[in-house]
Chains A and B, each alone.
Chain A
């Protein structure tokens, strides 16, 4: 696991492949440490989307890394010193896996023992994510939203290339007939599975973040095989932008609705007469909002990067 990270040397492409493996491994590690939800997210995000984005941007830059100008010894020294200090710092830390570490004393018992009665959702991670720490998650969703806007404005493509792009028949994977057919067969399964993850997140691992990423991965698969212009017929950029905003608004709107009904912001108890039912409804809506935002932002990111690539190719020719 650790040895892997060292050997990422010259060829950037190999580096990206290795970082894909690295991500898969770390997800396995998370699973081993009982963090199923985290493993889920890392698998879909780290191994999938980030590798895709890295590849898409690698298309546009040089593949090989240049010679490093400076001697790495100084850097090595600094890093070594930092590592030694950190290891010295860990000597006071609680042992791995010990149940009486300070982290397990404060709020975690409340979450573990009472969340079933208060929220009524078996998956504690979901209940903390959407209910106890709903503010945090709202903030995270906003961060993702902002990142989407940032990439949109950074990688803007002018109108003229767009028209030319629509005329161009995407001939990239035209030869791979088997691949196309199999992908077509798998696409509905993937989308169905994403919905399952979305709405089953209360009971098993999963939730809005993961479902959004899986949904986006399905769409990206389609885009890669059938061309960007085909996929854009379904997901127009105006639709994507609106949906991104709708997700965040849904999340915040649930909070405002709670306030209007007499509770605090994001206090789902008041949504229904029975507090537990209210919590259920609130978590479902909030996760839906997160899912919509994440899925649309991921699709937008991929579209923007691919579009940029197409533009580069067009200019080159």
Chain B
């Protein structure tokens, strides 16, 4: 099974959604800035996650990470 590495740090997750959870849990500038390059806003993602039931913020980011996250070999 492939694993995915966070584009900004060494965190590795097996699911995109989990990687999105990791990503939005980071409060440093570096993580926040990269989102802008993807046309996303940290605040908007958090807002989507916290103001409505469901996982909307994470899902939106997971979609992007699916394309952008580095695939790490199983071994």
Q: Tell whether A pairs with B.
A: no
